[in-house]
Structure 1
Amino acid sequence: MVFFTSIFTCLAILSTTVVALAIPLGTTGRSLSISEDGQTISIDGRAINLDQAVTRAGVCSPSSHGGGRQRHGKGGPSSNSTSAASNNAKAIYFLTNAANNSIVALKVAADGSLSDGSITSTGGVGMSGVDSTGAPAAPDSLFSQGALKVAGNSLVAVNPGSNTLSMFSISPTDPTQLTPLGNPVSTLGDFPVSVTLSTKLSLACVANTGARAGVACLTMSPNGLTPLDKTLRPFALNQSNPPSGPLNTVSQTFFNADSSALITTVKGDPSVNNTGFLSVFPVTNGAVSMTETRSSPAGTAVLFGTALLPNSNNIFVTDASFGSATLSLDAKNVASVVAKTNIADQKATCWAAFSDVTGTAFVTDVAVNHLVEVDTATGALIKELQSGNGNPGMIDLVSVGNFVYALSPGNGSVKAAVTVFDVSGGRGAAKEIQNFNPTGVPDSAQGMAFV
């Protein structure tokens, strides 16, 4: 508090000048900038309005800095976890996928740890797919990655049971506070499971995997979502409502790094010689084409979750039949395998995230409670971190800053949880620091996103 008091005193003196200033912060190489009117300071591009900062209640209270929050699980954050706090998540989100579908928002402290935040209804209905016997397919009830996504201050989530998408604005002062933008909007298909957002195109595109399977796109605005397409970009899966899976279903839809293509992974079914494929719809003049390129990379069968690789046209992808692979797209959008990882004890390796801190990818398995780290260039298996927290396994995950967050949906006897891994030690040094059980979350939880 002494540091900021000194700054505010200095600013009170300097506010009479009309010249913008930059003040070095010791030997850090960073600086504090003061606006010409003396009302705003900026550090690392983050602006603080002084009137709001001085008058805001509790600005220096311990609770506003994460003090007193209960931690779950063993261990603690590494000593340098807070060094990149500005690059870490402020909140993470996932779906309940219950009958009254809702978004769970958890608070993230500077040390990466989680605490309860809010639960907000989507206005839509959740639903589980079924297994080969016709029973609900929990815990992997959507057979997908990316059931909700965040772009800027907007969040969009699927409602599998009502075939709709819901859009929300995220409060800039409390990211666990979500405000609905308009009403849920039709996805043009059945059983939507994955959504992707492009701020460049102002588009939300959603993949359906029920009887009417395929991808549709909608425009995003401050008022919510507006249907753009009139028909689906179809996938002939011959599925039912709800769909039977996880085989022969859509896995994930996503834009590439520059939003020049909409890409979707679709699982095959090796038992009936049905090969999965990668679908690519190019973006032309700001619109997603209705004409696609499909390819089935050699050796793959059950393409699932993906992660874009930086400074590359390559895609990291899981395949539940063996582990994971790195795919390269050529000029014609045809995919081929450039690296492959066989995970010997895997049962359902389906979800993926890439860490900028480690320069590696992490994958999870719904039936094996481990976090596996992979070298995306060579396919080498770097580390298999076995967790002893009692969860049955993990599904959707995100990597942000020094931390990886992975969702475990629960299974009736074990509650839903989010496991936090600290990766600040770099390649091969991931460690579990928390296993948090959110309040009021059913076993059907799905998806993962962050802001």
Structure 2
Amino acid sequence: MLWVLHTPTGNYIIASNIGADGKLTPCKAVYTGGLGAHAFPDGVIDALNSQGSVAVNAVSNLLAVVNPGSHTVSLFLFDASNSTNLTLVGAPISSGGQFPTSVSFSADGKMLCALNAAMKSPRAPSLLSLKPNVLNQTTSATGPPGTVSQVFVSPDAKNIIVSVKPDDAHSGFLAVWDIINADSSLSLKGLPLDPSTSRWWTAFRPSPSHDIIDCSGQNRSASFSLDGQIARCRALYSKETGNYYLVDAGTSLAYEIAVDENLKGSTVNSYSTGNNTAPIDTSLATVSGRGHLYVLDSQTTEVTVLKLIGPGQAETIQVLDLAGPVRNAGLRIGQFLASLLL
């Protein structure tokens, strides 16, 4: 298990072992060689307004992490038998823009795409030229409304997909670029994908709803809301339960969502991560044949671990304090905590 401290004085990956029972034990901090940054003053949650600041590829045994404060990306080799053993590959490289917030590998691990969220971000990919009135950004990027969320390389490595959050005046959308050359260059202009006209699941943040987007050409896309929801974040699919899990930073709840054959979403259950914990990121893992959901609680600097017993059933088995081990290592945690990754 990995999470990132985006502190301005130095960016660190915090690595943790996962036991046979699914519980976490922090073991080391690894310097990325770059600087972190924060979209808000210290004390305000949600360091980067996004998810995916760290990515791994099991084929190439590579790990990438953004350094938003130095506008770079660091690359590590990890030991397949012990993924907490990380070796920095060379020096951090330019992200091609400013304030990188998200990275994604191609399936074969031969291509890496970085998403830059700030004002001067002409490449990899550039959303500012796509919708300048929506993404009127500074460096560092402000938000969360109206900011980029996450970048994905499609499984066939033919497209780059970026999710963008809505604001009061604009809807959220997906933007798609073609990868047109062997050197991985992108088409000159991203094509916005309108959820109302275009099978893709995502959660735009902050938003009072979640969207199920149909990319099969059958036009079954729709938005679904829940009473009392405030700011829905990361959505993940569990193959063990067949359901999706997403968190709400405002209500401090993790929601379990079922999607039927007609792509209609319904709430199966919800699970509390504790009062005012502000969960902002999640990860799923199969441990000893059982699904486990790991929830990053930004307000309390904790990770809540839920064992997925079955559809509609989950129990909290651990609430891990991150602040203590990090401070014992001589590092500052504050509210600079960001993405969680297995």
Match of 1:140?
46
1:273-309 deviation per Cα after TM superposition (whole angstroms, max 9, x unaligned): 233321011234553532422133249xxxxxxxxxx
Q: Going by fraction, where is strand more abundant, 1 or 2?
A: 2
The structure that has the greater radius of gyration is: 1
CA–CA distance in structure 1, aligned partners of residues 139 and 185 of structure 2: 27
Shift, 1:319, TM fit:
4.5
1:164-184 per-position Cα deviation (integer Å, ceiling 9, x unaligned):
000111123322121100111
Residue 367 in 1 paired to residue 250 in 2?
A: yes
Instruction: Name the one with the larger helix percent.
Output: 1
Q: Take 1:255 and 1:137, find their aligned partners in 2: how far apart are those partners?
A: 33
SS of 2:7's partner is coil
Alignment partner, residue 274 of structure 1 = 170
Q: Distance in 1 between matches of 2:244 and 2:123?
A: 27
Q: Is the 8 A contact 1:256 1:263 kept in 2?
A: yes
Question: Please, what is the CA RMSD of the aligned residues?
Answer: 2.4
Alignment deviations for residues 205-237 of structure 1 (CA, whole Å, 9 cap, x no partner): 0111111246517xxxxxxxxxxxxx8884432
- Hey, what's the Cα distance between the residues in 2 that align with 1:105 and 1:391? 25
- Matched length: 319
Could you tell me how far apart the structure 2 residues matched to 1:252 and 1:232 are?
Answer: 12
Is the 2:196–2:221 Cα contact (8 Å) retained in structure 1? no
What amino acid maps onto 1:179 in structure 2?
Answer: T
For residues 256-405 of structure 1, the aligned pairs below 5 Å read 256-270=154-168, 273-284=169-180, 286=182, 287-290=184-187, 291-298=189-196, 313-330=199-216, 338-376=221-259, 377-388=263-274, 390=275, 392-401=277-286, 402-405=291-294
Identity %: 28
Which residue in the other structure is 1:192 paired with? Answer: 100
Measured against aligned partners, the alpha-carbon deviations of 1:392-448 in whole angstroms (never above 9, x if no partner) come to 2211111122111111123xxx3x11111111x221112211111131161311012
In the TM superposition, what whole-angstrom CA distance separates every residue of 1:306-348 from its partner, at most 9, and x where no partner exists?
Answer: xxxxxxx4233344322312111256xxx96624321222221
> Deviations for 1:60-84, whole angstroms, at most 9, x for unmatched residues?
xxxxxxxxxxxxxxxxxxxxxxxxx
Determine if contact 1:118/1:177 at 8 Å carries over to the other structure: no
CA shift at 1:362, angstroms? 0.6
In 1: Cα distance, 2:30 partner to 2:127 partner: 29
The more displaced of 284-293 and 138-147 is 284-293
Which sections of structure 1, spanning at least 5 residues, go unmatched?
1-91, 218-230, 300-312
Q: How does 1:13-412 map to 2 (within 5 A)?
A: 92-99=1-8, 100-130=10-40, 135-136=41-42, 138-152=44-58, 153-200=61-108, 202-213=110-121, 215-216=123-124, 234-235=129-130, 236=132, 237-270=135-168, 273-284=169-180, 286=182, 287-290=184-187, 291-298=189-196, 313-330=199-216, 338-376=221-259, 377-388=263-274, 390=275, 392-401=277-286, 402-410=291-299
The 1:181/1:266 distance shift into structure 2, 3 A limit, reads same
